[in-house]
Chains A and B, each alone.
Chain A
Amino acid sequence: MSADQQGHHIETPPDKGTGATASGASNANRIVYGLSAICALLVVADLFVHKHGYFKIEHVLGFYAFFGFLACTVLVLAAKLIRAILMRPEDYYDK
């Protein structure tokens, strides 16, 4: 269910985003708030799930949520750093 919601949230920007910047920004804010609400609900749902995981760390409340967020943040920041090293002009190999 929230899978679909996620899709919708991504779809929303162009409808209003092409208009004034103010409505674009408020729209973006709405996505952040909406997604945060879903995320909060999912962490709450974690309380009611009986975990069978083999690793202890999995049994920590909201482990998957925290791990997903952390992994993505670290990888995005790493990519931003590595970009400076790997990036070359588009015609680099043609020279």
Chain B
Amino acid sequence: MTNELNPGLIVILGALLVPFLPGRVLRGAFMLMIPIAAFAYLRTLPMGDFGQMELMGLQLQTLRIDKLSTVFGTIFLIATLLGVIYALHLGDWVQHTAGLIYAGSAIGAVFAGDFVTLFFFWELTAISSVFLIWASGTANALSAGLRYLVIQVGSGVILLAGVLMHYRATGTLTFGAMSTETLPGTLILIAFGIKCAFPLLHNWLANAYPAATVTGTVILSVFTTKLAVYTLARGYAGTEILIPIGVTMALFTVIYALLENDLRRVLAYSLIGQLGLMVAGIGIGSDLAINGAVAHAACGILYFALLFMAIGAVLHRTGTAHASKLGGLAKSMPLTATFAVIGALAAAAVPFFAGFISKALILSAAMKAGHFWAWAGLLAAGAAVVIHTAIKVPYFAFFAKAQGEPGTEAPANMLLAMGLTAALCIGLGVYPEALYSMLPREVKYQPYTTEHIITQLQLVCFAALAFVLALRFGLFPATTRATLLDSDWFYRVPGRHLAMIANRFRSFTWEVVADGIVKGASKTYHALYHHHGPDGLFGRTWPTGMMAFWTTVTLGAVVILSYL
């Protein structure tokens, strides 16, 4: 039994102790130990299915250790440790506890072998993570958090519906490869798709992540969407519809990332774009493509965490993350700027940085499978990432002409977290075998050929040239404070009006019905009173003869009716 505990539960149990620890030092040390202990425990687990349980007649398998779950579990634990370090300066135990429960439930979900366990952790990620948004304490964060919670819990409800139907149809709860031919398979795909920010289902991410606290956004950027990538890789590898979905995600987010002024929102859209690459990889479904999607999830976690950390440090020190109010911070925050540039180079997939070794797998897989348009779309999106993430984010924060006050260098714990993450971004780029050896499928791949390096450098440098020229000739869209309409418009404007109309209709209907009931009741009463009251027909005293007459009539009618 001791080696049948889900590693996610260790993190969650640890998180529950955090509020009771006195002093920031003791609490900090304990929080650092949590992911380390869970990782050490994970290393002792052999491959296989464990934690068999029976719950109300349902056969559960609460722990599944295989290559796919282990690689996600490992990267999640590393990210948890980095996130804890980044947040060490915080005194707020609510955020610490919520963040760790959130991380633990994502890890728990990855190691879940059956749908019921998955559903439990799936909903727990939603409920725990919303506190990271609400902790900002602004009115905007409150409403963004509420919308986030509704959509996230909604994803869980759809998952549950799909799982129940799947169980009734097949009699099994094991989470394995699913089919989109059946209704439950489709429902479960939609539930995963919401968390994975599929087009039109994506807006919770772009709204909620920039509204969260400085440290909360870093944690949020890691888990929810990558958990969804894991579930897609497990359940829907080779589902062709995922290819156009992924390419759409990669391309439409480019526009938003180029236009957005809030740099955390730029990163949020950019993150959806990179999810698109993973989703397309899962749709292609070859061994190389699945490995690519998993590798890109791992690298994406690292470099997006690094970029969110750097912009978070800027927000922490200057009070804003808006491009139009920043600039020139490289002088006052040189280390943060350096780490941001490393994150940017990884995001741009420059050779010898993390993004390169994972993106190359997916593009090669698309090419080998002959998906020309998917390949071209992903390549174009990859070139655009250079502009909207790798150049725009560090440029407007650190190198452009200063629009606001200079900051001071980030706190030591933030610098340490960024330094470690940056080291991993370079480490994986230089030594990809460390990640490749953990990937679920057996494929040999060599990212560092002259051809790959030269062609990728061409893509990156010419994209950079396009940016420089666009900026020089005033063609680059200006970054100003504004709201960009996105799919949330549908529920925030017409949806809201519809809800208000529905509410008016409801109150109107209610009035009519209530009125009708009251009026009807009073009419009935009056009618009864009229006939049965002291002066009514049935209230009067009748002669006995009359009674005998009516009795005879009634009896006669009964006799006649019974013979008919």
Contact = CB atoms under 8 A, between A and B. Distances in A.
Interface of A: 2-3, 6-7, 9-11, 13-14, 17-18, 24, 28, 31-32, 35-36, 38-39, 42-43, 45-46, 49-55, 58, 62-69, 71-73, 75-80, 82-83, 85-93
B255 A65 contact: no
Contact of B258 (A46, A54, A79): A79
B198 interface: no
Closest 4 CB pairs of A and B: A72-B466, A71-B380, A68-B459, A65-B458
Nearest to A65: B458
Is the contact region of chain B dominated by helix, strand, or loop, or is it mixed?
helix
A13 B400 contact: yes
A3 B460 contact: yes
A76 B462 CA distance: 14
Given A3-B460, A28-B472, A89 B350 contact: no
A68 B328 contact: no
Given A3-B460, A42-B461, A18 B401 contact: yes
Interface stretch (B11-19, B130-138, B382-390, B510-518): B382-390
A11 B372 CA distance: 36
A32 B484 contact: no
A36 B461 CA distance: 9
A88 B399 contact: no
B170 interface: no
Given A66-B462, A69-B465, A72-B386, 18 more contacts: A3-B353, A14-B331, A18-B402, A24-B401, A35-B465, A35-B468, A42-B458, A43-B458, A50-B451, A54-B370, A67-B459, A69-B463, A71-B384, A71-B463, A72-B466, A78-B255, A79-B255, A85-B485
A73 B331 CA distance: 31
19 contacts: A3-B457, A3-B460, A6-B461, A7-B341, A10-B395, A14-B328, A35-B465, A38-B461, A46-B455, A46-B458, A49-B450, A67-B380, A68-B459, A68-B462, A75-B254, A90-B482, A90-B483, A91-B483, A93-B492
Contacts, number: 183
Interface in B255-296: 255, 258-259
B466 A73 contact: yes
Interface stretch (B31-39, B65-73, B415-423, B473-481): B473-481
B357 interface: no
Contacts of A3: 345, 350-353, 457, 460
Residue in B328, B461, B468, B484 with the greatest tally of chain A CB atoms within 10 Å: B461
A46 B451 CA distance: 8
Given A64-B455, A80-B475, A72 B460 contact: no
A14 B399 contact: yes
B153 interface: no
Given A64-B455, A65-B458, A36 B465 contact: yes
Interface string B303-319: 00000000000000000
A93 B331 CA distance: 37
B468 A31 contact: yes
A82 B460 CA distance: 24
Nearest to A45: B454
A29 B447 CA distance: 34
A49 B462 contact: no
Given A10-B391, A69-B465, A76 B399 contact: no
B104 interface: no
B467 interface: yes
B259 A49 contact: no
A81 B344 CA distance: 26
A22 to B, nearest CB: 14
A49 B386 contact: no
Given A42-B454, A86-B259, A76 B482 contact: no
Nearest to B366: A54
A1 to B, nearest CB: 9
Contact of A68 (B255, B463, B484): B463
A58 B376 CA distance: 11
B255 A82 contact: yes
A43 to B, nearest CB: 7
Most central of B341, B368, B379, B477 by chain A CB within 10 Å: B477
Point out which of A55, A63, A86, A89 has the most chain B C-beta atoms below 10 A from its C-beta. A86
A78 B253 CA distance: 12
Most chain A CB neighbours (cut-off 10 Å) among B353, B395, B464: B464
Contacts of B486: 86
Contact of B367 (A17, A55, A66, A79): A55
Nearest to B449: A52
A22 B450 CA distance: 40
A72 B387 contact: yes
B330 interface: yes
Interface string B515-549: 00000000000000000000000000000000000
B232 to A, nearest CB: 25
Contacts of A63: 455
A34 to B, nearest CB: 10
